[in-house]
Amino acid sequence: MRERLRELIKEKEAFKQVFCKRLVEIRTERKLLQRQMAEKLGVNLSTYSNWEQGRRAPHVNDIYNMLLVLEIDANDLFDLE
């Protein structure tokens, strides 16, 4: 059971790293600053910055709004292809 728990923690960390990396990549491809993304999403700059740095996880509604603002689908953001 402990081994499975360790595996789940590693998977979660790997997923978080992919999400954060893709969020930064896509934002910079769109030539948007963190401040601009935060404004478009209606959140504080520190909140958005924490999402990109993996310190905090966005709510599902915020993720949905990211998809709209960046004009991408979830496959692109989560690198699922």
pLDDT tens-place string over residues 9-62: 688 888 888 899 999 999 999 999 999 999 999 999 999 999 999 999 999 999
Which ranges constitute the DSSP H helices of the chain?
A: 2-29, 34-41, 45-53, 60-70, 74-77
* Number of domains, the chain: 1
CATH code of 31's domain: 1.10.260.40
Rg (the chain; Cα; Å): 14
pLDDT at 25: 96
Q: What does the alpha-carbon distance between residue 72 and residue 81 come to, in Å, rounded to a whole number?
A: 13
Is there a contact between 72 and 26 (Cβ–Cβ < 8 Å)? Answer: yes
Q: What does the alpha-carbon distance between residue 69 and residue 23 come to, in Å, rounded to a whole number?
A: 12
Is there a contact between 77 and 67 (Cβ–Cβ < 8 Å)? Answer: yes
Cβ-proximal residues to 30 (8 Å cutoff; 6+ apart), any chain: 70
Expressed as residue numbers, the domain containing 39 is 2-77
pTM of this structure: 0.85
